[in-house]
């Protein structure tokens, strides 16, 4: 049976299973910093890579790399232990349970958006790396 709340393990080793979510299109150093810091908080980092459809809903444009390629790229990082496709923002609670996460990490562009998950696991928002985003990179490539 899966417990109602995965009790966080706050000893010197940090959390057991950290989960985070995002599109991670055209991977950049801001993504890498976020993933590395998330991984440092626990023993295992699981990443929910937003599906192409979900990414379109969030950002109003199709990702440059499709979901399979984005998953492959994220999965190949040393700081990432597992990946899956995130189909809907509203399913965060299911994903936390399925992956038995005791900490959810999000960038602070999502500040307070997922506090309702705090009854399932701890929730932390990390500062975004300034001055870089996928949107900006696409703009620079398009228009110089
Ligand atoms: N992130 C970050 N620092 C950045 C950019 C992203 O910490 N400079 C984090 C986000 O806060 C999120 C994760 O990386 O937790 C995935 O973000 P994503 O939306 O895929 O990246 P963006 O570069 O913000 O994408 P876009 O410009 O398309 O919105």
pLDDT of residue 123: 98
Domain region containing 64:
14-143
Measured in Å, residue 31 CA sits from the centre of ligand 1 at 6
Check pLDDT > 60 for residue 12.
no
In a domain, 4, yes or no: no
In a domain, 129, yes or no: yes
In a domain, 70, yes or no: yes
Residues 30-84: tens digit of each pLDDT: 999 999 999 999 999 999 999 999 999 999 999 999 999 999 999 999 999 999 9
Measured in Å, residue 135 CA sits from the centre of ligand 1 at 9
In a domain, 85, yes or no: yes
Quickly list DSSP for 13-47: TBEEEEEEEE---S--HHHHHHHHHHHHTEEEEEE
In a domain, 74, yes or no: yes
Which of 19, 23, 27, 31 maximizes ligand 1 atoms within 8 Å of its Cβ, making it the mutation to test the pocket? 31
Q: DSSP assignment, residue 116?
A: G
Higher-scoring residue by pLDDT: 76, 144:
76
Residues 105-139: tens digit of each pLDDT: 999 999 999 999 999 999 999 999 999 999 999 99
Measured in Å, residue 24 CA sits from the centre of ligand 1 at 7
pLDDT of residue 11: 56
Domain count, the chain: 1
In a domain, 2, yes or no: no
In a domain, 3, yes or no: no
State the CATH number of the domain containing residue 108. Answer: 3.40.50.620
- For atom 14 of ligand 1, the residue with the nearest CA is 31
| 91 burial type by CB count under 10 A (0-12 exposed, 13-18 middle, 19+ buried) | middle
pLDDT of residue 5: 73
């Amino acid at each position: 049976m899966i417990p109602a709340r995965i009790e966080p393990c706050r000893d010197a080793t940090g959390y057991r299973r950290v989960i985070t979510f995002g599109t991670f299109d055209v991977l950049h150093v801001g993504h890498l910093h976020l993933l590395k810091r998330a991984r440092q908080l626990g023993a295992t980092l699981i990443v929910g890579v937003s599906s192409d459809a979900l990414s379109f809903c969030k950002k109003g444009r199709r990702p440059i790399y499709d979901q399979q390629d984005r998953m492959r790229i994220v999965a190949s990082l040393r700081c990432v232990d597992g990946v899956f496709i995130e189909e809907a923002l509203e399913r965060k609670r299911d994903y936390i349970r399925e992956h038995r996460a005791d900490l959810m990490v999000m960038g602070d562009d999502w500040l307070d958006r997922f506090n309702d998950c705090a009854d399932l696991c701890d929730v932390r928002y990390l500062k975004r790396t300034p001055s870089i985003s996928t949107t900006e990179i696409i703009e620079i490539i398009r228009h110089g």
